[in-house]
Amino acid sequence: MIVLSGTIGAGKTSLTQMLAEHLGSKPFYESVDDNEILPLFYKDPKKYAFLLQIYFLNKRLDEIKSAFANDTDVLDRSIFEDSLLFHLNADLGRATETEVTIYDSLLKNMMEELPNEPHQKAPDLLIHIQVSFETMLERIKKRGRSFEQIENDPSLYDYYKTLNQRYVKWFDAYDQSPKISINGDEYNFVEDTKAADKVMTIVDHELHALSLK
């Protein structure tokens, strides 16, 4: 199982589709457009932050179990980075200490590997897409989701900036599986086919090293 990570607008969905086609496997996408809670969260973060994270946690585990079918199925977001997002929301006063404790405990319990399980829940490889803050803002604006736009909520600027910074620290500390980082500024794989080919080569090399391909 291959899992993508990266901040908002990093290109996770695009790279997930490219990798699944390249590897002949199945992509699993984050539930956004059909997520009824996400727009509510942007309107009232304090009220809906905890509910949103529980929603995502449940969806992610469903995707992990479904991805057991093929060795190189690709998920477009790691279940582990949800904790990063929720802790940021807590630091911003959008969640209580009790909610954070419950969430962290639930995540740990759900992801615990049990004896004699045919599949592990942790990924075989995590691919992190690192983009600059400027690229992040540009892509958020380009994809045009109204509830994500700074023009509609100026406070999102600081939120996005902090989120981008925390992703760097999160990836450095991540130790649940082998990992590689793709420079999304250097390799604009969404719009540049040569960059996309280069990224596929990088991933192929890592998969061969891990005996996954």
**pLDDT at position 213:** 66
**Total Cβ atoms within 10 A of residue 47:** 12
Determine if the pTM surpasses 0.75.
yes
Residue set of the binding site for substrate: 30, 42, 53, 77, 82, 148
Percent of the chain at pLDDT exceeding 90: 67
CA dihedral angle for residue 113, residue 119, residue 121, residue 122, rounded to 10 degrees:
100
Domain boundaries of the chain, sorted by first residue: 2-209
Q: Please, which pLDDT band fits residue 182 given cuts at 50, 70 and 90?
A: very high
The domain made up of 2-209 has a fold known as Rossmann fold (3.40.50)
Q: With helix as H, strand as E and coil as C, how does the chain read? A: CEEEECCCCCCHHHHHHHHHHHHCCCEECCCCCCCCHHHHHHHCHHHHHHHHHHHHHHHHHHHHHHHHHCCCCEECCCCCHHHHHHHHHHHCCCCCHHHHHHHHHHHHHHHCCCCCCCCCCCCCEEEEEECCHHHHHHHHHHHCCHHHCCCCCCCHHHHHHHHHHHHHHHHHHCCCCCEEEEECCCCCCCCCHHHHHHHHHHHHHHHHHCCCC
**pLDDT at position 119:** 74
Per-residue pLDDT tens over the stretch 12-37:
999 999 999 999 999 998 777 788 89
Rounded mean pLDDT, 31-60: 89
Per-residue pLDDT tens over the stretch 94-152:
999 999 999 999 999 988 876 777 678 889 999 999 999 999 999 999 888 888 899 98
Residue set of the binding site for ATP: 6-14, 139-143
| Least confident residue range of 46-55, 114-123, 154-163, 195-204 | 114-123
Residue set of the binding site: 6-14, 30, 42, 53, 77, 82, 139-143, 148
Report the C-alpha gap between 130 and 167 in whole angstroms. Answer: 8
**Minimal CA–CA distance to 42: which of 167, 139, 156, 160?**
156
Specify whether 76 is catalytic.
yes
Average confidence score pLDDT of the chain: 91
Q: Which of 73, 76, 124, 192 is catalytic?
A: 76
Handedness of CA 21, 192, 167, 180 (dihedral sign): positive
**pLDDT at position 199:** 96
